[in-house]
Amino acid sequence: MNPMLQKSLPDPQAVLSVDSQELDSQENSKEDITNKQFGFLDSFAKKEIRRTLFKAVAIPGYQVPYSSREMPIARGFGTGGLQITLSLLGQDDVLKVIDQGSDESVNAVNIRNFISKTCPGVSLTKHTPEATIIQTRHRIPEFPLKLGQILVFQVPYPDPLVIVENSEAKRKQMHGEGDYARLWVKLYEDMVKFSEITISHRYPTRINGHYVIDPSPIPRFDVPKLHQVPGLHLFGAGREKKIYAVPPFTDAQPLTFDDVPFRVEDFNDADGNRRSCNRCGSTDSYLDEFLDEEGCRVYQCSDSDYCNSMLSK
Ligand SMILES: [Zn+2]
C-alpha cells in the first residue's frame, strides 16, 4: 500500500471500497491520490457532477442527464443525493443529513457515517441553521433556508410526466415545449372523481414559469417552501441519472386550477382546531401521526431538530 494513502485515511473500513482503485493509482500524482481519498468519488466524477449542477442551476427545473456512478449503497437509497453532496463537500463545510425530517432514522445515520468516514474534516450537525449543506429524504426542514445553504434532495422519480407518457423522448419534447396538457387532464380527472386534487406527495410544481418538476416525495406542506427562498435546492436521481435544481429566489408554483387553490395538509381536528405537537406544542410544523401504547393517536413534529429547538425555548 502506498504509505501516503495509508497515513491519511481515517478508518480501515473506509479503505475497503477503494482498495481495487488503489493499485491503479500507484503511479498517480500526489494531487490525484488526495482527490480520490476525500469524498469517495474520483475528481473526474466530481467535476462532471459539478458541471451538471451548473447547467441545472442555469436552466431551473430542467432535468440534466449525467453518468450516475456506482455507490456503496443500493440505488434507491439516496445515491443521487449522495453523489451531489460528495461533489460539493469541502473540509470547511457543515453537513446535516435527514430522513423524513429525522436525523436519527436508518438512512440518515448510514449516510452520515459514510460521509464522516470518506470526508475527514467535514463537520456534522443536527441543527438546520448551522449547516451549509443539508441532504434530505422526503422533507424540507422547518427552519427556513438561508442564503448560502444548499438543500440536496434524494429523488426516486425525477419526471412528473412519467405518469402520462412512457417514452422519454416524447417527455423531453413535451418539457421543451412546456406542453403539460396531459398532466392538467390528470389533475382534472382527480377533481371530477374526488372533488379535489388528491396528490399527497411528489406534487408537480412549475419552476420559473416553464419546466414542471417532481419535487421528490416531499409532502404538499413543503412545496411552498421552494418558492422564492434564499437557499439553493439541488435534486439528484441516481437510478434515473438526472440532476435538476431550484435556484435561490426562483418561482416555484404547484400546478393548480384558477378556481381550485392549492391546499396543504392542515392537521385540523374534527372541531377545526389545529393539532399541536405532543412533545413541543408547536402548531405550525408538519406533524407525524402514530399510535401510542394505548392505541391513541399522537401527533409529533416530523422535523426532530425543530421539535428539539422548540422544546428548549
Ligand atoms: Zn414538536
Please tell me whether residues 233 and 302 are part of one structural domain: no
CATH for 128: 3.40.50.11310
Instruction: Tell me the pLDDT tens digit for each residue of 137-148.
Output: 999 999 999 999
Kindly state whether residue 306 falls inside one of the protein's structural domains.
yes
Ligand 1 centroid, distance to 264 Cα (angstroms) = 19
Q: Is the pLDDT of residue 119 over 90?
A: yes
34 vs 113, higher pLDDT: 113
Kindly state whether residue 170 falls inside one of the protein's structural domains.
no
Q: Following CA atoms 89, 90, 94, 96 in sequence, which dihedral angle do they give, to the nearest 10 degrees?
A: 10
Cα angle 209, 221, 103 (rounded to 5 degrees) comes to 115
Ligand 1 centroid, distance to 224 Cα (angstroms) = 20
Instruction: Tell me the pLDDT tens digit for each residue of 38-61.
Output: 899 999 999 999 999 999 999 999
pLDDT band at 6 (very low <50, low <70, confident <90, very high): very low
- Residue 280: give the domain boundaries: 266-312
Mean pLDDT of 230-247: 97
Please tell me whether residues 153 and 276 are part of one structural domain: no
Please tell me whether residues 296 and 231 are part of one structural domain: no
Provide the number of structural domains found in the chain: 2
Please tell me whether residues 126 and 221 are part of one structural domain: yes
- pTM confidence score: 0.86
- Angle in degrees, 0-180, between the axes of helices 30-37 and 43-58, rounded to the nearest 10: 60
Instruction: Tell me the pLDDT tens digit for each residue of 69-113.
Output: 999 988 888 999 999 999 999 999 999 999 999 999 999 999 999
- Catalytic positions are 61, 277, 280, 301, 307
Ligand 1 centroid, distance to 100 Cα (angstroms) = 14
- Angle in degrees, 0-180, between the axes of helices 106-118 and 79-88, rounded to the nearest 10: 30
Residue given cell 456503496 in the structure block: 72
Please tell me whether residues 67 and 210 are part of one structural domain: yes
**Total length of the chain:** 313
Please tell me whether residues 137 and 278 are part of one structural domain: no
Question: Which cell numbers hold the place of 33?
Answer: 491520490
Kindly state whether residue 30 falls inside one of the protein's structural domains.
no
Kindly state whether residue 69 falls inside one of the protein's structural domains.
yes
Kindly state whether residue 279 falls inside one of the protein's structural domains.
yes
